[in-house]
A and B are shown apart, each in its own frame.
Chain A
Amino acid sequence: MEKNVTLQHMLKRTTFLPVFSTRSMHTNRWLERILAFVFLAPSLLLFSIFLFYPLLKSVYLSMNLTDPRGRVVQYVGLRNFTDLLTSELFYKSITVTLSFILLTVPTGIILSLILAWLAQTRLRGIHLFRFIFSLPMAISVGTGSIIWMVLYHPTLGTLNYFLSLLHIAPINWLSDPNWALFSVALMTVWMNLGFQFIVLLSGMQGVSEDIYDSAQIDGAGPLKTFFKLTLPLITPSIFFVTVVSMIGAFQSFGQINILTKGGPMNSTNVMVFNIYQDAFMNYRFGTGSAQALILFFIVLILTLIQFKVLEKKVHYQ
């Protein structure tokens, strides 16, 4: 695809390039190359310093022990990795991360699918509802977490008050190891709803009206239309939202640092929080980097699997 585009462009270009003489052609080509280099240089320079070099440095650090200032003191080979693979805390952080993903991604997508389906109807004032549903997008981890911290307060919080109205005993949302991950996930679902809603709604709006009209003529009810028509037709959007949300869930950090600090009893100790703690609280940059690399490979493999498996099932209109 990509090759086709550039090829077409090249062909198009050569047909109208004024050809005066071989020499000017030559200098022209060189000028173009120099310009390309100048245009690409800022990005390439920044990527080299802040992406490629750090990636290599991570590999290097992961095989060493460092002092608190980040200077390498001892080469240890793969010991950081073998230490990790035998550490219970590391496995805990992986299972916590996976549970967190399971709690947030499917729930979020199902909820936003329902919202998008409700909001695609042409009713008076529907734009207001659409705006409300996309509002959480403006809320950052920092502010969102503070708001929910207040709501989750064990004695004075509104959530426990609502439970008491239903005669349910108060829950220690953030300090009960059985509830903490759920609570963080609930807040995360709320926070991500705006983005997921927008993607799915624009996916649904991309489906042409004619298809719905003919479905109506065929006498299909709204539920049948949704499952048999809308859902298959917006698989590209669902696919995109799933990939982005999963990668985002893997990278969650802010809400955990603010709400629970990985606790209680490591029940919310997700991978990025564990890396943060190892590297920036305990100054073990070596093991921190080793974990970061493992995270990188998990995310990479997941992305590739998702693209391979889901791409086949994705229906492009």
Chain B
Amino acid sequence: MIMNRMNKGLLYFVLLIASCLILFPLLYTLSSSFMTNGESATYPPRMLPSHLNWDNYMNVIQTIPVMRFIGNSFIVSTLIMIGQIVTASTAAYAFAFLRFPGKTFLFALFLATMMIPWEVIMIPNYLTIKNWNLLDSYTGLIIPFVASAFGTFLLRQSFLQLPGELFEAARIDGCGHIRIFLSLVLPLSTPAIATLGVYSFLNHWNMYLWPLLITNKEEMRTVQIGISMLQFEEMTSWNLVLAGVVTVLIPSLLLLVLGLKPLVRGITAGALKG
């Protein structure tokens, strides 16, 4: 019993140290974002501000279009998310329940697309978007990502796990495929759809390379590009930059808090499939 208590204490101690190491960069960011210019540039570096100084946040919002960046990222990620849910769920339904020639081949083709790293095809895609005059547009940021092989695969797996008797009953009632899809399969698969939604939103919220290539105008920058451009313009005052970082982190953190469960479910589905 005493041994057990000691073990427990030790375990908490190790957990605490690990948490401190992982959290340190974030806590430091948070604390610096409240420092005044003078406080953030002293040596030895201060760990805590003298008081909660909200000026940096006011400054960031006034001098840099952070809200615009957040808005852009929000529009882009949301539309990609909706697009992926629509294209992946229809494709998954076809693969799970419809009979058509070439099904195995097409499914293998879908799976094979997951092997192509995005970086390999970015040059032609950039040229395509440029030829279509879509540089600096939402369409250019969104359209290459609207179809998702991963999403199709994930949803197909979950569709196949639905009980077959349900379909029999629906069929006997005279339901066609479209009715079955819309009023039976989709509502019953909300957990998997939520997984795909959170996964796709977070992924594209964090997208870096494509928006870097596609956007030039400041008002079209997404969060990731906007915030990293900040560094070159404002590197003299960290407190300001870090206040910007915190502003941008808040939506992602909120999403993680709300979406951790479906996200874990999705990742595990991938892991088990191996």
Contact = CB atoms under 8 A, between A and B. Distances in A.
Q: Which one of B22, B104, B152, B249 has the greatest number of beta carbons of chain A within 10 Å?
A: B22
Contacts of A258: 228, 231
A47 B147 contact: yes
A215 interface: no
B110 interface: yes
A40 B241 contact: no
Interface stretch (A85-93, A101-109, A195-203): A195-203
Nearest to A304: B115
A51 B116 contact: yes
Contacts of A292: 119-123
A100 interface: no
Given A43-B88, A118-B14, A272-B119, A2 B160 contact: no
Interface string A139-165: 111110111111100011110010010
Contacts of A150: 28-29, 32, 238, 241-242
Contact of A202 (B113, B230, B238, B264): B264
Interface string B247-266: 01100110110001001100
B189 interface: no
B90 to A, nearest CB: 4
A3 B104 contact: yes
Contacts, number: 278
Nearest to B168: A16
Q: Which one of B15, B101, B103 has the greatest number of beta carbons of chain A within 10 Å?
A: B15
Nearest to B90: A39
Interface stretch (A173-181, A224-232, A233-241): A233-241
A36 B100 contact: yes
Q: Which one of B18, B86, B164, B241 has the greatest number of beta carbons of chain A within 10 Å?
A: B18
Interface in B192-249: 202, 205-206, 208-209, 212-213, 223-225, 227-228, 230-231, 238, 241-242, 245, 248-249
Given A43-B147, A142-B225, A147-B242, A198 B119 contact: no
A111 to B, nearest CB: 9
A147 B25 contact: yes
B135 interface: no
A149 B28 CA distance: 12
A133 interface: yes
A132 B121 contact: no
A239 B117 contact: no
A274 B121 CA distance: 15
B2 interface: no
B259 to A, nearest CB: 10
B11 to A, nearest CB: 6
Contact of A147 (B100, B212, B245): B245
Contacts of A148: 25
A39 B98 contact: yes
Given A118-B14, A157-B45, A143 B90 contact: no
A84 interface: no
B120 A143 contact: no
Interface stretch (B48-56, B58-66, B124-132): B124-132
23 contacts: A10-B99, A29-B99, A33-B99, A42-B147, A43-B147, A43-B149, A43-B152, A54-B123, A118-B14, A135-B22, A138-B202, A139-B252, A140-B205, A142-B227, A146-B227, A147-B28, A236-B271, A239-B274, A254-B208, A299-B117, A303-B115, A311-B274, A314-B274
